[in-house]
Chains A and B, each alone.
Chain A
Amino acid sequence: MISLQGITKRFSGHTVFKDIDLSLAQGEIIVIIGPSGTGKSTLLRCINFLERPDAGRLQVGDLSVDTQRASRADILALRRRTAFVFQNYGLFANKTALENISEGMIVVDKLPKAKAHVRAREILERIGLADKADAYPASLSGGQQQRVGIGRAMAANADVILFDEPTSSLDPQWVEEVLSLMKQLAVERQTMIVVTHEMQFAREVADRVVFMDEGGIVEEAPPEELFTAPKDERTRHFLRKILAPTGQAVP
């Protein structure tokens, strides 16, 4: 169970968002949508303290943290319970695909190297990159790099995986393989929060879609409801703008 209560973030006096409440059960998949610059990514980054929230309480599993008083140990504990998939993959450039996946198990979880490598190979198998174990990120395609990024998040065995626009910097030809890996995780009921502009993915996979605008959550609902009968005018406006050019049904 993951919950955010009253999470607030300011950047040098400017409030990005204020009093955000959001909670999800284990195995639940939430997709956050909304216009650029409304703080979706920042909210995601607050959940694992890549950005430090200015107020609010975070709960992940059995760990509950008052963000204003979070100690270094709290932050490390929080990061161990969450995994992050970056827009620009963020793979360790000096490490092979296998090492990228095993690194956290060895350094953070203190698994023996041999055991970590066995598990990393299993993950490479699941993400369809068993043959790329010894390849360095620079020699992989964007889609392959992002799959390794997801593999690294899977290895963390976290309570929740946070996806920050995982397909936004990919060439169109690689988007599908990344989305299908994410769908595979969804089928396995991996708890995840996904910030994305892929509306089709949100429709198919999300248990709940959250629409954010101007630093707040405007509304949240199951996709069939939010995409066909949004309650708020702002949601409707956004969906029309983003869905119409793609030929999808607009509310």
Chain B
Amino acid sequence: MLNLEYMWGLLPVLLRYLPLTLQMATIAMFFALILACLLAVVRVSKVPFLNGFSLLFISFFRGTPLLVQLFLFYYGLPQLISALISITGVTAAVLGLTLHFSAYMAESIRAAIVGIDRSQTEAALSIGMTQSQLMRRIILPQATRVATPTLMNYFIDMIKATSLAFTLGVTELMGATQKEAAGSFLYLEAFLLVALIYWAIVEVLSWGQRRLEIYLNKAYQR
């Protein structure tokens, strides 16, 4: 039988590590969004040189496992660049998550931009807008609505992926659970509880996502 009393007692212990998990995810998401927008706009506008760089970047970070990338940043690169010796596990994890997810998000933002009807571009150009005004005021706001469901999915994925930071020695939610479980030998209880915590976070986010989508769709109600 499950030791419910142990789980109840473990809950506040684990929740102390929740802020670190959420911090890593939100910081990584923030930078990943910016980077993804830049990569997507570079791809759509076919900016010379940068376009090739974007392609290579997206190809590499989509084409290799996140865990490999994290190990590369934390254990690998410091051997090459001595300044990185002092890189913390948290920094390496945030860096890895940012780069990894920006590659995926860039592609969904690009698809959203390309999917906006050509009439929107023509109308904006016909009234004398420049390319960057067109992007900022017409295309990106409309692409945001299209891309939001997939971007939220990536954010959810990212929150769960922060658990990999424990392999870099970071004591976040997963790392803390691992330590507690190793001390009590109640692996089932500990990992079940942490699974429930992740699940609860994702449910809260899904609720937020639905609200956000209703808001973004208000211009499209007939």
B117: chain A residues within 8 A (beta carbon): 93
Q: Are B127 and A104 interface neighbours, CB within 8 A?
A: yes
Q: Are A50 and B122 interface neighbours, CB within 8 A?
A: yes
Q: Are B128 and A108 interface neighbours, CB within 8 A?
A: yes
Instruction: Give Cα A95 to B141, complex, Å.
Output: 10
Q: How far is the CB of A74 from chain B (nearest CB, A)?
A: 12
Instruction: Give Cα A107 to B123, complex, Å.
Output: 13
Asked if A12 CB lies within 8 Å of chain B CBs, one says no
A83-91, A210-218, A224-232 - interface stretch:
A83-91
Q: Are B119 and A86 interface neighbours, CB within 8 A?
A: yes
B141: chain A residues within 8 A (beta carbon): 94
Asked if B212 CB lies within 8 Å of chain A CBs, one says no
Q: Which of B126, B129, B130, B222 is the one whose CB lies under 8 Å from A84? A: B126
**Chain B residues with a Cβ closer than 8 Å to the other chain, count:** 23
Per-residue interface assignment for chain B, residues 110 to 144, with 1 indicating a CB less than 8 Å from any chain A CB and 0 otherwise: 00000001011011111111100100011001100
Greatest chain A CB density within 10 A among B119, B127, B138, B142 is at B127
Q: Which of A139, A152, A156 is the one whose CB lies under 8 Å from B222? A: A139
Q: Are A139 and B122 interface neighbours, CB within 8 A?
A: no
B142: chain A residues within 8 A (beta carbon): 93-94
B119: chain A residues within 8 A (beta carbon): 86, 88-90
Q: Are A50 and B125 interface neighbours, CB within 8 A?
A: yes
Q: Which of B123, B133, B218, B222 is the one whose CB lies under 8 Å from A92? A: B123
Instruction: Give Cα A66 to B117, complex, Å.
Output: 30
Interface residues of A in 125-140 (CB under 8 A from B): 136, 138-139
Q: Are A136 and B221 interface neighbours, CB within 8 A?
A: yes
Q: Are A83 and B123 interface neighbours, CB within 8 A?
A: no
A139: chain B residues within 8 A (beta carbon): 221-222
Q: Are B129 and A107 interface neighbours, CB within 8 A?
A: yes
Q: Are B128 and A86 interface neighbours, CB within 8 A?
A: no
Q: Are A108 and B129 interface neighbours, CB within 8 A?
A: yes
Q: Are A86 and B123 interface neighbours, CB within 8 A?
A: yes
Q: Which of A50, A84, A108, A136 is the one whose CB lies under 8 Å from B220? A: A136
Asked if A80 CB lies within 8 Å of chain B CBs, one says yes
Q: How far is the CB of A6 from chain B (nearest CB, A)?
A: 23
Q: Are A90 and B130 interface neighbours, CB within 8 A?
A: no
Instruction: Give Cα A107 to B138, complex, Å.
Output: 11
Instruction: Give Cα A82 to B117, complex, Å.
Output: 22
Q: Are B123 and A156 interface neighbours, CB within 8 A?
A: no
Q: Which of A86, A92, A95, A138 is the one whose CB lies under 8 Å from B221? A: A138
Asked if B219 CB lies within 8 Å of chain A CBs, one says yes
Q: Which of B122, B137, B219, B222 is the one whose CB lies under 8 Å from A90? A: B122
Instruction: Give Cα A145 to B151, complex, Å.
Output: 32
Instruction: Give Cα A90 to B179, complex, Å.
Output: 60
**A and B contact pairs by CB, cutoff 8 A, 28 listed:** A48-B126, A50-B126, A79-B125, A79-B126, A79-B127, A84-B126, A86-B122, A86-B126, A88-B119, A90-B122, A90-B126, A91-B123, A92-B123, A93-B220, A94-B138, A94-B141, A94-B219, A95-B219, A104-B128, A104-B129, A108-B128, A108-B129, A136-B218, A138-B220, A138-B221, A138-B222, A139-B221, A152-B127
Query: Which residue numbers of B lie inside 8 Å of A, CB to CB?
Result: 117, 119-120, 122-130, 133, 137-138, 141-142, 145, 218-222
14 further A-B contacts with Cβ under 8 Å, apart from A94-B219, A103-B127, are A79-B125, A79-B126, A80-B128, A83-B126, A86-B122, A86-B123, A86-B126, A90-B122, A90-B126, A92-B120, A92-B124, A93-B219, A94-B142, A108-B133
5 pairs of A and B residues whose beta carbons are closest in the complex? A90-B123, A104-B127, A84-B126, A90-B119, A79-B128
